[in-house]
Amino acid sequence: MYVSELNSARAVSVSCDMSAAKAYQQIEDVDHSKFPVVDKEGKLVGIVDKDVLEDISSSSSPFKELKFSSFLSQTKVRDVMNGNVYSAKETDTIWEASLTMKDHRVSILPVVDEENRVVSVLARNDLFKALLNYTGAKYTGLFISVEAKEKTDIFDVVRCIEEAGAELKFISAYHEKICLKVLGSKAEAAEAALKEKGFKIIYTAAVN
């Protein structure tokens, strides 16, 4: 599954040349904590924290007590943004985007096109929902995890499910486990068939 297939949020970006105060006015009512920063061509150049813009813009900001008012009014987004920004491409898989988030410990990823223009914003929750849907978690059925000793066991598992008359919605091999989601009234029959074939059932969970 590719990032372009996700129903991610429309990008709300701020210009690097915009004043911090004006940028905050633009994003004040948007429910995000970080925002992509773009140049005049709409290309990604950084990311900025909403809290930082709020602190600069707020009349109760502790910075204003230091009589930096004139300085703060001239502060641009480029002055307070983080230029070390990570992004995802529309052609990336959801696995690649998830690894980017994990490896760099970021909570959002701007999604860019081939010219590095921001087209949307990907949040952790978007990936979480996508992974759940991909594994068939939203469907009523039976999750089954079986022990796999040979690489070819996955083919025997699929054949066993089909012969039992159940619908196989998802299957994945991970180390010495085969995880699957079985749907339909024959789900329990499929589990029994796997046991008869000699497969060791590690875990089962019914999803209603």
Q: What is the pLDDT of residues 20-52, one digit of tens each?
A: 888 888 888 887 889 999 999 999 999 999 888
* Model pLDDT, residue 46: 94
CA distance 208 to 203: 17
Per the structure block, which two tokens stand in for 40?
A: 């005049």
Instruction: Report residue 174 as tokens.
Output: 């991970």
Q: What is the pLDDT of residue 73?
A: 62
pLDDT for 59 equals: 52
pLDDT, tens digit, 9 for 90 and up, residues 62-86: 555 544 445 556 789 999 999 999 9
Task: Identify the pLDDT of residue 183.
Answer: 85
**Beta strand ranges found along 104-195 (DSSP E):** 108-112, 118-123, 141-147, 167-174, 177-183
Look at residue 67 in the predicted model and tell me its pLDDT. 46
Q: What is the pLDDT of residue 62?
A: 54
Task: Give the pLDDT confidence score for residue 141 in this predicted structure.
Answer: 81
pLDDT of residue 138: 67
State the helix-helix crossing angle for 187-196 and 153-164, rounded to 10 degrees.
130
Can you give the pLDDT at residue 68? 47
Low-confidence residues of the chain, pLDDT below 50? 66-69
Phi, then psi, of 108 in degrees rounded to 5: -135, 155
- How deeply is 133 buried, as exposed, middle or buried, from its count of CB atoms within 10 A (0-12, 13-18, 19+)? middle
Residue 166 CA to its chain's centroid (Å): 31
The mean of the pLDDT values for the chain is 84
Q: Six-digit token pair at 195?
A: 């046991």
